[in-house]
Chain A
Amino acid sequence: MRGGGRATGGRTLWDSSVGKKTVMAVSGLVMLLYLVVHMIGNLKIFFGPGEFDHYAHWLRVVGEPFMHYEWTLWLVRVVLLVAVVAHATSAYQLSRRDIKARPTKYVHKKRRASYATRTMRWGGIILGLFLVWHLLDLTTGTVHPGFRPGHPYRNVVDTFSTWYGNVLYIVAMLALGLHVRHGFWSAAQSLGVGSRTRDRFLKTTANVLALVLTVGFVSVPVAVMTQVVS
């Protein structure tokens, strides 16, 4: 017992390796929830340009008349930005700590944890870089020659008509699946909801989420490549 005044709540969490994992878990789950919604929205591309572009427009007018044009969208963007920054900052700081805690490697190496577990850091970096490209490509159109604002269907088909668009996207979505597979289950442990009896349920949910997200997202470029969507 050190007694006396102790920093409360947020400070205690942020200053500790355990608390930073809580931050990672919560921010990760926020992003995961968004991804599920995003993936379902993407699937509207299979119902033609009318429905897809209408859905994209609706995203800007959600909550009207209470919310002004694009307010809801910006609210979501701010929440996501906070989540991304919190997730990446914690990951960076925790990784620094982890690497420092084990400076000497064993001479005799053994292949240990699963592939998904071992690729969390690199996978996260790949996803971060992908996110930048993805926003510049389909939100702002900065790196997208012939980008037409307000015509998302056309822009998506356009992106997936290039080889690099397909490669970047599919590689990132495979990385996403691996990241979610270990990440969802880990988040449950970091938040203290895992247990022996719930483990099978949590692992299955993690695998299903990873698979559904990857397949759902990858189906769009595949559909464009196979001319199902054009």
Chain B
Amino acid sequence: MRLTLRVWRQKNAGTEGAMSPYEVDGISPDMSFLEMLDVLNEQLILSGEEPVAFDHDCREGICGACSLVINGEAHGPERTTTCQLRMRSFQDGDTLDIEPWRASAFPVIKDLVVDRSAFDRIIQAGGYITAPTGSAPEAHATPVPKPDADFAFEHAECIGCGACVAACPNGAAMLFTSAKVNHLGVLPQGAPERASRVLDMVSQMDEEGFGGCTLTGECATACPKGIPLFSITKMNREFVQAARKGR
């Protein structure tokens, strides 16, 4: 496959960036999108140019490190992570626009790499269980009803990649925050801090400068892990209940 890429190039957080055109040839349809970028970078290094910086780690679709908005869609046209996206999703001769996540809470560090530590701070505000739990307990020590376990797992699937923020026209982190709030809130271990967790995490989310939810549903459409839009609905209910209790 032969492709024309238009990639966002930006030297660092302090400089202006722009889209730069590149040509890549000999791309196999079985390559992942990141492998295609590796090919581009090898080409750039050989010609003495600065390679394109992009985030990646496991390349197995489970770590949440990779990002990229491809032709206006977070993680590209398929519902998966960029690392799991194969070049067969595109046509020979296509022009692909590759941009970083866009949100004021996710400033661009270099090229396609953004600073997602705002997510870490939301987790630090309450996305965990305070009690030290030691090593993994016997699985049946704390009974969890099957529907609750399924619900928790559905939300625990969030890998914190930030596609929800990138896709949201308001740069909102509602889907991410709600995934964690719902995951922990429904389990017996997370229940004691259920009210304070949602209040603290939402407050941190606002402090980081993320936008609010206008229920466009873009986040849930972009989410590679299929966190449902109703996660946000559930968090809204949790939030109002917690605000009434005042803790």
Residues of A participating in the B interface, judged by any CB pair closer than 8 Å: 1-2, 6-9, 12-13, 16-22, 94, 97-110, 112-113, 117, 120, 182, 185-186, 188-196, 199
* Neighbouring B residues of A104 by C-beta, 8 Å: 102
* Neighbouring B residues of A199 by C-beta, 8 Å: 230
* Neighbouring B residues of A110 by C-beta, 8 Å: 71-73
Chain B interface bracket (under 10, 10 to 19, 20 to 34, 35 or more): 35 or more
* Neighbouring A residues of B202 by C-beta, 8 Å: 16-18
Question: Is B161 an interface residue when CB atoms closer than 8 A count as contact?
Answer: no
B218 touching A112 by the CB < 8 A rule? yes
**What are the 3 tightest A-B residue pairs by CB atom distance, in nearest-first order?**
A192-B237, A101-B211, A8-B246
Question: Is B97 an interface residue when CB atoms closer than 8 A count as contact?
Answer: yes
CB of A84 to closest CB in B, whole Å? 19
- Evaluate whether A101 and B105 lie within 8 angstroms (CB atoms) in the complex, with A106-B72, A113-B216 already known: yes
Question: Is B41 an interface residue when CB atoms closer than 8 A count as contact?
Answer: no
B170 touching A101 by the CB < 8 A rule? yes
A1 touching B69 by the CB < 8 A rule? no
Cα A208 to Cα B235 in complex, Å, equals: 27
- Evaluate whether A12 and B214 lie within 8 angstroms (CB atoms) in the complex, with A18-B236, A19-B239 already known: no
Question: Is B83 an interface residue when CB atoms closer than 8 A count as contact?
Answer: no
Query: Can you pick out 22 interface pairs between chain A and chain B where the beta carbons lie within 8 Å of each other?
Result: A6-B199, A6-B247, A9-B246, A13-B240, A13-B243, A17-B202, A17-B213, A18-B213, A19-B240, A98-B212, A101-B210, A103-B104, A106-B72, A107-B6, A108-B71, A108-B97, A110-B72, A112-B169, A190-B236, A192-B233, A192-B240, A196-B230
Residues of B participating in the A interface, judged by any CB pair closer than 8 Å: 6, 8, 19, 69, 71-73, 97, 99, 102-105, 126, 130, 168-172, 174, 193, 196, 199-200, 202-203, 205-206, 209-218, 228-230, 232-240, 243-244, 246-247
* Neighbouring A residues of B210 by C-beta, 8 Å: 17, 101
B240 touching A102 by the CB < 8 A rule? no
Q: Which residue of B lies closest to A10 (CB)?
A: B243
- Evaluate whether A100 and B235 lie within 8 angstroms (CB atoms) in the complex, with A107-B99, A110-B71, A189-B215 already known: no
* Neighbouring A residues of B174 by C-beta, 8 Å: 18
Cα A104 to Cα B218 in complex, Å, equals: 17
CB of A212 to closest CB in B, whole Å? 22
CB of A106 to closest CB in B, whole Å? 5
| Interchain CB contact (< 8 A) of B97 among A98, A107, A112 | A107
A21 touching B213 by the CB < 8 A rule? yes
Q: Which residue of B lies closest to A192 (CB)?
A: B237
Interface centre among B104, B193, B229, B236 (most CB of A within 10 A): B236
* Neighbouring B residues of A186 by C-beta, 8 Å: 214-215
A196 touching B240 by the CB < 8 A rule? no
CB of B123 to closest CB in A, whole Å? 14
B193 touching A1 by the CB < 8 A rule? yes
A194 touching B230 by the CB < 8 A rule? yes
B193 touching A101 by the CB < 8 A rule? no
A19 touching B69 by the CB < 8 A rule? no
A191 touching B171 by the CB < 8 A rule? no
B216 touching A100 by the CB < 8 A rule? no
Q: Which residue of B lies closest to A190 (CB)?
A: B236
Cα A218 to Cα B174 in complex, Å, equals: 38
Known: A108-B99, A188-B233. 15 other contacts (CB 8 A): A1-B130, A9-B243, A17-B210, A18-B202, A21-B236, A98-B170, A102-B103, A102-B170, A102-B211, A106-B99, A107-B6, A113-B216, A189-B213, A189-B236, A195-B230
